Amino acid sequence: MSETKSRVLKIFKFHRVIIPVILGLGVFLFVEFRDFDATPYLNINWTYYSWLWIFMAILAMVTRDVAYMYRIRLLTDKQLSWRRSFDVIMLWEFASAVTPSVVGGSAAALYIVSKEGINTGRSTAIVMITAFLDELFYITTVPIVLLIAGTSQLFTNDEIPFFFDTSLGVAGAFVAGYIFILVLTTIIIYGVFIKPRGFKWFLLWVFRLKFLRKWRVKAGETGDDIITTSQEMRHKPFIFWLRAYLSTFISWTGRFWVVNFLILSITPVGNHFLIWARQLIMWVIMLISPTPGSSGVAEIIFPSFFGQFIPLGLAAVVALTWRMLSYYPYIIIGAVVLPNWLQRVYAKPKKEK
């Protein structure tokens, strides 16, 4: 077993899988049962429409995954079949679910894509452009959301336990996160689409500084990745990028609508756009979470963002249901897909007679 394979497979060890599950369920049990009151549960009026909206939430997650599968097929020039695209996306999400959000599953994603028979250079380009498209969606959507919703409604005034108890607050954390994403995306655009070799030279020049010198080799490798990505992607036609962006937009929109549909299953909702928009803010906080897949953190902050739309006493259970649909399935599906995928990608080709 190669060193790369061993390193990546450590991500999928049992203890890495069970930790986020324990964190998420533990936070739910703590929040829900410290002041438990059965009355809100007894007052829920379950109707045909309740189950319809839960089905719509599931359909939104399926839409998200199909859009991601379409995008990976597009980025690989359809080198991956729909079946293999499913494996790649499920394992990619599995890796993201069991690693800290601030780290992400990029290393595992590069390994997964390359094992599908795509050379290392193209795999690097695909993983980098995937991240770029996700950030681009965020950058282009936030200004529109701010114009429509307004900052007074978009940012919750509720305190978020353990997070951003500073003078900046949630709004300050969001602005800092947005600026970071904007700068990072600008660097990728410059490096990939304008001057890739100039960007590598700049990196090497910066990492000549004494306190950065020990990371200079890694900086050079990053520069090489940028050049490879540029060679693979910069000459793609406009329709390619339009399809890639639209699939990204559909995927993220599907992910966010899950919360809207779940709230609708228990109570009427007036301002759907505000619920959808607040998830953009919550995503920044989840992005910098130190826990695997933001487990525990997501369950804590959910009531602060959406509690005003949910009957009193039910925010925690809606948060858990949201995670049951949008997070835990990837752990289960990934654990099922992984053994068969390993057997397939490491199978020795049959000799011709």
pLDDT tens, 80-103?
A: 999 999 999 999 998 888 877 655
* pLDDT value of position 73: 95
Assess whether pLDDT exceeds 70 at residue 211. yes
Share above pLDDT 90 across residues of the chain, in percent, rounded to a whole number: 24
* pLDDT value of position 174: 81
* pLDDT value of position 1: 42
- Residue written as token pair 């995306």: 185
* pLDDT value of position 349: 55
* pLDDT value of position 243: 96
* pLDDT value of position 91: 92
pLDDT band for position 180 (cuts 50, 70, 90)? confident
State the DSSP code for 105: S
Summarised one tens digit per residue, pLDDT across range 284-316 is: 777 777 777 777 778 788 888 888 888 877 888
pLDDT band for position 130 (cuts 50, 70, 90)? very high
Assess whether pLDDT exceeds 70 at residue 2. no
Task: Please tell me whether residue 100 adopts helix, strand or coil conformation.
Answer: strand
Assess whether pLDDT exceeds 70 at residue 11. no
Assess whether pLDDT exceeds 60 at residue 167. no
For the chain, the domains span 3-35+45-345
* pLDDT value of position 88: 94
Q: What whole-number distance in Å separates Cα of residue 132 and Cα of residue 112?
A: 18
Q: How many CB atoms lie within 10 A of CB 260?
A: 21
Most confident of 53-67, 111-125, 295-309, 339-353: 53-67
* pLDDT value of position 162: 47
State the DSSP code for 352: P
Q: Looking at this protein, which amino acid is placed at residue 169?
A: G
Q: How many CB atoms lie within 10 A of CB 284?
A: 19
Q: Which residue has the higher pLDDT, 212 or 307?
A: 307
Answer whether 250's CB lies under 8 Å from 134's CB.
no
Most confident of 73-77, 229-233, 288-292: 73-77
Q: Looking at this protein, which amino acid is placed at residue 14?
A: F
Answer whether 92's CB lies under 8 Å from 124's CB.
no
pLDDT band for position 352 (cuts 50, 70, 90)? very low
Task: Please tell me whether residue 209 adopts helix, strand or coil conformation.
Answer: coil
State the Cα torsion 335-24-299-250 to the nearest 10°: 0
Query: What mean pLDDT comes out for the span 124-134?
Result: 89
DSSP string computed for 254-310: HHHHHHHHHHHTTS--S-HHHHHHHHHHHHHHHHT-SSBTTTTHHHHHHHHHHGGGS
User: Which residues are 211's β-sheet partners?
Assistant: none
* pLDDT value of position 230: 86
pLDDT band for position 67 (cuts 50, 70, 90)? very high
Q: What whole-number distance in Å separates Cα of residue 279 and Cα of residue 256?
A: 7
Assess whether pLDDT exceeds 50 at residue 353. no
* pLDDT value of position 157: 58
Q: What whole-number distance in Å separates Cα of residue 125 and Cα of residue 128?
A: 5
User: Which residues are 292's β-sheet partners?
Assistant: 100
Task: Please tell me whether residue 347 adopts helix, strand or coil conformation.
Answer: coil
* pLDDT value of position 62: 96
Task: Please tell me whether residue 80 adopts helix, strand or coil conformation.
Answer: coil
